[in-house]
Amino acid sequence: MNATDTALDALDGAAIAAALRAGIHRLQARADHLNRINVFPVPDGDTGTNLAMTMSAVLGTLDRCGTTPGAHAGRVLVAVADAAIDGARGNSGAILAQFLHGVADALEDRTTIDAPGLATAGAAGARYAREAVTEPREGTLLTVLAVFAAEVRRLVDGGATDIRRLFVDALPATRIALARTQATLDVLRSANVVDAGAAGFVEFVEGMAGYLVTGEVGESGPIRHEAHEAREAMTIGGSEGAHRYCTECVVSSEAVEARRLREDLAMLGSSLVVAGTRRKARVHIHTNEPAQVFAAAARHGTLSAQKADDMHRQALAAHHTGARRVAIVTDSAADIPDDLLENLDVQVIPVRVHFGTHSYLDKVTLSPQEFYRALATDAEQPRTSQPPPGDFRRMFEFLASHYDSVVAIALTARVSGTWAAARAAAERVAPDKVVVIDSRNVSLGQGLLVRYAAECARAGYDGARIVAATEAMRAHTRTFGLLRALDHAVRGGRVPPVVRTLSRLLRCSPVLTNFADGRIAAGGALFGRRDLVPRFARYIARRLPAGVPHRIAVGHGDAEADGRQLLAALRREIPRLESACLTTLGTALGVHGGPGMLVVGVQPGTSPG
């Protein structure tokens, strides 16, 4: 179809929905390129993924409300804006969502949209977007939004009524504005790129214009990830400030005061965007203290959709060099010392930890030390929940844009839905590039498997070889946990009270272990209360094959002295010890074992080569 010979004076809701779909599909197809040119405000290489995920949230809404011929245009746009606010990701995603919110506010009463209406809506959208940003910068998405809106207004004031021509004729000035972003910001000039968020908006408009000219919506689907050989050279650009976490949440209330919310958050970081409506606001900020951001935001309403992405690790992933072509991902149930995480460049998706109505991001807004303090003082028994599917999808989309393969090692599927959620996200994102392994383990055992996979990646293994090697090592990776008391396990419902009673009567301490099928259960017990730590070390040593070098990891539930004693005892009991480390035990077992629990992960010491 090519309808350029006939004027298009108005769009109903169905036509708007089709044009939006076309724009979203084009944006998704270019997400990989946008990731690679992303250097502002930080070079974390995820702008394309964030924009694509923001607008993917809109696609579902369009399928529900934008398919009926003659659909009410304003209602479709309001639904689109709400979905974009809910699904907004990253700085550019939040700004684009706010632009759509302004467009919807200007047109919500219109059954159809004409050219003057579009001009009014574009101006409102650009204004809303700029007002949402605490420190607006020229040479960014904000500039290109304003130029597009101004060009549409100029054309309409000059007598343009054909909406088809309006989009096509507004594009040249918009493309020029995009090209000028490179000259406006030093960081873009140094990296020889244009602003990635602005480029994403131009792709979106190009897609809409293409539909209006041809009537073709294009194909929906996941982000297309180009082969490594086809990648453009990546240049590390500068970063505004030294803030580590890209932090987001949604604040819901009967009356969210965006100005006061911005004022309360402005001193906590940079790149602050507060987008949304009077009832719902999407917060985006770069900060070193996500917990403080969430606490401040919670004073303005109910929080949801909390996330905090580590931009430092994202930047390393986006600009990785050398032989490594495979990214390694895990969830925070894996206990790994921070220095090893940094050294091996492992990406971690946080589990959620809940104390009553308060929710935290494990090891991000709630450290292990803070967890044990809360465990000792909070009347509410904590519980954990798997990361939401969107967390996995966002991580996989981002990494698939920068690596040939992604291998994720998840908490055992026998005790959590984490593996299933990660696998579903992998299937949706790029089943040919992302593989999720069930660790059949937990805590330090899971951490040792992650470490081994990361070492394989560093040694230059491809994705298939890493999966095979890690699955082979899985059968030989053990976890042992000494439960000195069963109070927390009983409170959490994992252990019946009668078992605790028997344990006290028999003066025994159960020893948890992982089984081949992924169960985590009692595999033995130590009787008597004296010399538990050295006896636990001997218990473990007797269950290891003789004459084999091992690496071990020791975790303690806020009992560092006992952890050090156990580590020393294991050094004595295991003659061929390749490596050993000590860390504070995380929530995966800590929530059930409580303070004082001791956990050991053991693995054969064969390093990949």
Tell me how far apart the alpha carbons of residues 394 and 384 are, in angstroms, rounded to a whole number: 21
Q: Which residues contact 221 (CB under 8 A, 6 or more apart)?
A: 25, 28
Answer yes or no: is 556 within a domain: yes
**What local confidence, expressed as pLDDT, does residue 491 receive?**
65
Q: Do 133 and 175 fall into the same domain?
A: yes
Q: Taking a C-beta distance cutoff of 8 angstroms, is the pair 513, 481 a contact? A: yes
Amino acid letter, residue 580: A
Closest to 362 measured CA to CA, from 336, 323, 343: 336
- The strand pair at 326-331 and 347-349 is best described as parallel
3-state secondary structure 448-464: HHHHHHHHHHHCCCCHH
pLDDT for residue 1 = 41
**What is the extent of the structural domain holding 249?**
242-319
Answer yes or no: are the C-beta atoms of 49 and 397 closer than 8 Å.
yes
Q: What is the enclosing helix (H) or strand (E) of 101?
A: helix 90-107
Closest CA to 132 of 142, 118, 146: 142
Q: What is the pTM of this model?
A: 0.80
pLDDT winner (highest mean) among 1-5, 231-235, 319-323, 381-385: 381-385
392 found inside a domain: no
Residues 199, 253, single domain; the answer is: no
pLDDT tens digits, one per residue of 545-604: 988 999 999 999 999 999 999 999 999 999 889 999 999 999 988 888 888 999 999 999
pLDDT grade for 101, boundaries at 50, 70 and 90: very high
Closest CA to 84 of 131, 112, 52: 52
Res 249 pLDDT > 80: yes
User: Do the domain assignments include residue 251?
Assistant: yes
Q: What is the structure's pLDDT at 498?
A: 56
The pLDDT score that the predictor gives to residue 228 is 41
Residue 138 lies in a domain: yes
What's 524's domain CATH number?
Answer: 3.30.1180.10
Task: Please give the Cα distance from 209 to 189 (Å, whole number).
Answer: 29
* Cα separation values, 440 from 16, 53, 446, 584, Å: 48, 31, 8, 21
CATH number at residue 68: 1.25.40.340
Q: Report the CATH number that the domain containing residue 301 is assigned in CATH.
A: 3.30.70.980
Q: Provide mean pLDDT across the span 517-527.
A: 88
Contact (CB, 8 A) for 205 and 174: yes
Tokens of 165: 């021509």
Q: Please report how the helices 389-400 and 311-318 are oriented relative to each other, as an axis angle in degrees rounded to 10.
A: 30
Buried b (16+ CB within 10 A) or exposed e, 412-435: bbbbbebbebbbebbebbbeebbb
Query: Looking at per-residue confidence, does 222 or 114 come out higher?
Result: 114
Predicted confidence band of residue 411 (pLDDT cuts 50, 70, 90)? very high
pLDDT, tens digit, 9 for 90 and up, residues 381-395: 788 888 988 899 889
Beta bridge partners of 274: 283
**How much is the pLDDT for 137?**
92
pLDDT for the residue numbered 4: 52
- The tokens of 543 are what? 């269950």
Are 292 and 175 members of one domain? Answer: no
For residue 414, being part of any structural domain is answered with no
In angstroms, the CA 16 to CA 96 distance is: 17
Question: What three-state secondary structure class fits 555?
Answer: strand
Q: What is the average pLDDT score of the chain?
A: 88
One domain, residues 197 and 63? yes
User: How many separate domains does the chain show?
Assistant: 3
CA 226 to chain centre: 21
User: Which token pair is 88?
Assistant: 């907004």
Q: What is the pLDDT of residue 148?
A: 98
Instruction: Tell me, yes or no, whether 268 and 142 share the same domain.
Output: no
Distance CA(511)–CA(566), nearest Å, equals 15
The pLDDT, as a whole number, for residue 241 is 52
